[in-house]
A and B are shown apart, each in its own frame.
Chain A
Amino acid sequence: MDNDRWLWTLGQEMARHQLAPDAVRHVVAEAAAHLRDSGQPALRAFGTPEGYAAAVAESLAARYGRPARPAPGRVRLSARGITKRYRRRTILRSVDLTVRAGEVAAVVGANGAGKSTFLRICAGLLAPDSGEVTLDGRLGYCPQDAGTYDFLLPDEQFVLIGAGRGLDRERSKQIGRAGAASLQWRPAAGVQTRHLSGGTRQKLNLVMASMGEPDVLLLDEPYQGFDRGTYLDFWQHVWRWRDEGRAVVVVTHLLSQLDQVDQVLDLTPASEGAAA
């Protein structure tokens, strides 16, 4: 990797860490000056751009704290006393979750803890045995899998979802392609969904969920198969949606980003499922 490429990648990585554009420019300029003066290759001087960006982000966060965000708004999703049993086994026991506009909630738990079941109940796709879900606004739902047609092109999937949202064909394609580009994916012409890799298919799944500006986004482990860069881009999307005033619920088993969400609902049976 030459120095120019390294510096460009550093800028991208820092943006993914939600650093302000001024800070990004400043750090990149400083690194470029150092490389010019020292004559060293960037990889030897700073290590990988990903690692350096993470170190800078951590250092800045420690020094200045996280930027202030607008206060959360009205309650968009309220799940109260959700209990669900399959046969004799209780999967969810009296689970509560309230998510306001401008908040991100993470739903975590071991395999089989009922994360996807809870999300399906929140989406209204599954009835709880007891409890109630109340939704205020438009819903966007990203299932864990099986959310796309194998033999359709990505553009056609965008048109299909867009029509449901009341968008015309061109606008649907435009929104879908823009969403794809923001996840570093440019759908190739004529490639059917079945020929996409698992990660790209998940990108499609995620773009479809976010079409039509939903007020509440329910995302069921939407990053499976993502490479590291796209994974960071995904969280950047989540934070942007939050800053736009959407309520976001993410089912996840990756703990690395939990410090950056507003609440964590742990469905592991041993715990009480309390929100942090």
Chain B
Amino acid sequence: MKILTVAEMAIREMVRRRAVLALLLALPLAFYLVRRGDQVGQSIRFLLIGLAWAVSTAALFASGTSRPIEPRLRLSGYASHHLYLGRLAAMWLLGLVVAAPFFALVAIDHGDQVRLGAVALAMLFAVTVAAPFGLLIGAIVPRELEGTLLLLVVVGVQMMIDPADALTKVTPFWSSREIGTYAVDHTGDEYLVRGLVHGLIFTILATAVVALLSTLRLRVRMRAATSA
């Protein structure tokens, strides 16, 4: 119940920022269109990165907006896990809503050339990973400007790194890239499997670190009296 209330309010807070919503949609769209004339694979891979970037940025800002209010909520009966799980659920839902029209776009634009189910899965994993990753950056770097720049560095590296480089596997959105390759290049199942495994592990790790940092930050530093 408490997690749902936090999630509901986080969504309400976000959807009332209409300009933010427009930009959330504009970012993946721009990434998709800029390579659309090039080749199908690249445009969809860029779309996935744009989607992940948009969702992680939204999560980063949601984290920053809530940071000054969370202590009060903590003292008003919420445990720290209610707060970060509620916010995470909200960002996942928001991400799926943002992803849905892009899936429709790909289906209409290139539905006959790609594995549509795998495209949906790649989008799902882009959103799944991006939400806790944005919260993680927000938890590590409390100031929004620094957080945004850090996110920019990570996404920049993700976009420019040579796919053959071993370092690519530690980038956060490698999972959706692998699943995306499976979807657009019709590769073998190994791309799909390692994408899924990477995405799950990264999501669990990012969520665990967010949980740890939130619990530490929001711990109540006092002794409760033993009632007579």
Give residues in A with beta carbon < 8 Å to B: 74-75, 78, 121-127, 132-137, 139-141, 143, 146-152, 156, 159-161, 163-166, 192, 208-209, 211-212
Contact = CB atoms under 8 A, between A and B. Distances in A.
Contacts of A127: 221
Given A151-B12, A192-B16, A165 B72 contact: no
Given A124-B220, A160-B6, A165-B77, A149 B71 contact: no
Given A164-B2, A164-B76, A136 B224 contact: yes
A146 B2 contact: no
Interface string B84-123: 0000000000000000000000000000000000000000
Nearest to B1: A163
B12 A123 contact: no
Given A146-B68, A146-B69, A151-B13, A212 B5 contact: no
Nearest to A167: B77
Given A125-B221, A126-B221, A134-B222, A149 B13 contact: yes
Nearest to A120: B71
A209 B69 CA distance: 12
Given A74-B228, A149-B13, A124 B77 contact: no
A78 B226 CA distance: 13
Contacts of A121: 221
Contacts of B5: 159-160, 163-164
A39 to B, nearest CB: 55
A146 B77 CA distance: 18
A239 B17 CA distance: 40
B39 interface: no
A124 B222 contact: yes
Interface residues of B, number: 29
B75 interface: yes
Contacts of A146: 68-69
B78 interface: yes
B187 interface: no
22 contacts: A78-B225, A121-B221, A123-B222, A124-B75, A124-B220, A125-B75, A125-B221, A132-B223, A134-B222, A135-B225, A136-B224, A139-B75, A147-B68, A150-B65, A152-B9, A152-B12, A156-B12, A159-B5, A160-B6, A164-B77, A164-B78, A208-B76
B73 interface: yes
Given A135-B222, A135-B225, A146-B69, A161 B16 contact: no
A149 B65 contact: yes
Given A160-B9, A211-B76, 11 more contacts: A125-B71, A127-B221, A135-B224, A135-B225, A140-B75, A149-B9, A149-B66, A149-B69, A156-B9, A161-B76, A164-B78
The 9 A-B residue pairs with the shortest CB-CB distance in the complex, in nearest-first order = A164-B77, A136-B225, A124-B222, A124-B220, A163-B5, A164-B76, A146-B68, A133-B222, A127-B221
A150 B9 CA distance: 11
Contacts of A164: 2, 5, 73, 76-78, 82
A163 B10 CA distance: 14
Contacts of B2: 163-164
A212 B76 CA distance: 8
B227 A165 contact: no
B1 to A, nearest CB: 6
B159 to A, nearest CB: 31
Contacts of A136: 224-225, 227
Nearest to B221: A127
B5 to A, nearest CB: 4
A207 B227 CA distance: 27
A165 B75 CA distance: 10
A72 to B, nearest CB: 16
B72 A143 contact: yes
B20 to A, nearest CB: 10
Contacts of B225: 75, 78, 134-137
Contact of B13 (A137, A143, A152): A152
B72 A141 contact: yes
A151 B13 CA distance: 5
B77 A151 contact: no
